[in-house]
Amino acid sequence: MHAPKAVIIGGSMGGLFAGNLLHRAGWDVTLLEKAATPLTSRGTGIVTHPGLREVMRLAGAQFENRLGIEISRRLAFDARGHILSEVQLPQNFTSWSRLLQILLEAFPADRYHLSSGVVRIEDGDAQQAAQVHLHDGRVLQADLVVAADGNRSEARRQLFHAPPMRYAGYVAWRGLVHREALSTLACELVGENFAFSQIPGEQIVGYPVLGADHQNTIHVNFVWYRRTSAEALRDILTDAQGRYHPDGIAPHLLRPEVLQQARQAAHAQLHPVWAEIVDKSPDLIVQTILDGVTDTMGTQRVALLGDAAFVARPHVGQGVTKAAGDALALVQALQESGQQVPQALAEYSRVRVPVGYKAVTMAQQLGAVINLPDPGMAQWATHFADPYNLIMETAVEINGVAHTVLS
Ligand SMILES: Cc1cc2nc3c(=O)[nH]c(=O)nc-3n(C[C@H](O)[C@H](O)[C@H](O)COP(=O)(O)OP(=O)(O)OC[C@H]3O[C@@H](n4cnc5c(N)ncnc54)[C@H](O)[C@@H]3O)c2cc1C
């Protein structure tokens, strides 16, 4: 008997978790990534959770002793450097590039296809295979299509009646800098801790991570949330040629004056160690903060997974863990249904939709302190204005997101 065929759209975290788990479960997997060159520096730091590491093991990823760096202290300080709150909360921090590299190593290279953008998907039914149409005219038949094509998912737009992703009213500036390039004070405050500062309309967090290089260089990662009007966002996403990039602007296309404004604001508003970290980060990434929900994650033979289904703001630190948990839940549902795909996808959707809503809701609560919250969220803005609540509840594991049982 032939192995059932799975086509995965998207070669980032979600696609690789699904690809590795399906491959190990005996599926014939083809992974399609639209980018022409290998994905490398898309993101910065990633908070890992025990559940994420468990799914990585199940996916065949070899990462013991090289995933990330252990940090035990969280602290919040104000613009003058006064420590406002401090707790012990050990966690392992890695970088986006390192995690992607580990997942790529586990996946058969001849099954991973760059320059393979998908333009149209037909979802098939219990009898008919799904069809995946590529930009170059190729058409692939599949028993299962996994749409791990991110927050601008074509599959979501074409096949799911999900609402459009919604702008949360603020952006995140992100960057990475070699820890050894930082001053002693910046290392003490941010280079050794999970550090937090906030002022009205802004919040910045930073922590050390392992870079993707073989020397295990330690970098310091920051995520700086800034309330930003829709007009100001449009300006940030417009390059020097006047082209607007609504889906996100590549770091090298950010206009010099936009970068300069951000760096000046860091000096004017934040503690000098944050300004130093922002200044010394060679590339700044700007991420539009979005909320994305859907009431279904499966239709016939097409599964939505990761950010294509739900986008939870980064405060909860669940982006990668959620994609991993979706992939694990999908493979389990397929196994339990005897590979009856439409039936398995109904079960997958039933299990994962509530998890997606939970992550998005918790992220909105955490974010309420940054944007101007609607009245329903005002209590959360007050709750997270308290530095102790902020450092205790940001980026901690949320039960169920990784789809593994936590001890
Ligand atoms: C700018 C940015 C920075 C981020 N930085 C961080 C970070 O530092 N830390 C963190 O924890 N999380 C970060 N995230 C979130 C995190 O990357 C995701 O939550 C996580 O990777 C799960 O995403 P995914 O694999 O579902 O989708 P994505 O990572 O968005 O990947 C989707 C993939 O699908 C591909 N694709 C899209 N359309 C098609 C198509 N039609 N055909 C073929 N391929 C297609 C894309 O090229 C992309 O590689 C960031 C997100 C963004 C947008």
* pTM of the entire predicted model: 0.96
Is residue 98 a contact partner of residue 104, using CB atoms and an 8 Å limit? no
CA distance 404 to 381: 31
DSSP notation for 143-184: SEEEE--GGG-HHHHHH--PPPPEEEEEEEEEEEEEGGGS-H
Alpha helices in 337-386 (DSSP H): 341-367, 378-385
Dihedral in degrees, nearest 10, Cα atoms 149, 151, 156, 160: 150
Of how many residues is the chain composed?
407
User: How many angstroms does the Cα of residue 263 sit away from the middle of ligand 1?
Assistant: 26
- Which atom of ligand 1 is least distant from the CA of 223? 8
Going from the N-terminus, what domains does the chain have, and what CATH number goes with each?
5-42+98-165+292-368 (3.50.50.60)
- Which atom of ligand 1 is least distant from the CA of 248? 1
Full pLDDT tens readout for the chain, 407 residues? 689 999 999 999 999 999 999 999 999 999 999 999 888 766 688 999 999 999 999 999 998 878 999 999 999 999 999 999 999 999 999 988 899 999 999 999 999 999 999 999 999 999 999 999 999 999 999 999 999 999 999 999 999 989 999 999 999 999 999 999 999 999 999 999 999 999 999 999 999 998 877 778 899 999 999 999 999 999 999 999 999 999 999 999 999 999 999 999 999 999 999 999 999 999 999 999 999 999 999 999 999 999 999 999 999 999 999 999 999 999 999 999 998 999 999 999 999 999 999 999 999 999 999 987 778 899 999 999 999 999 999 999 999 999 987 65
- Phi, psi values for residue 257, rounded to 5°: -70, -30
* Lining residues, ligand 1, CB within 6 Å: 9-15, 32-35, 39, 42-46, 96, 117-118, 148-151, 154, 174, 248, 285, 287, 306-308, 314, 319-320, 323
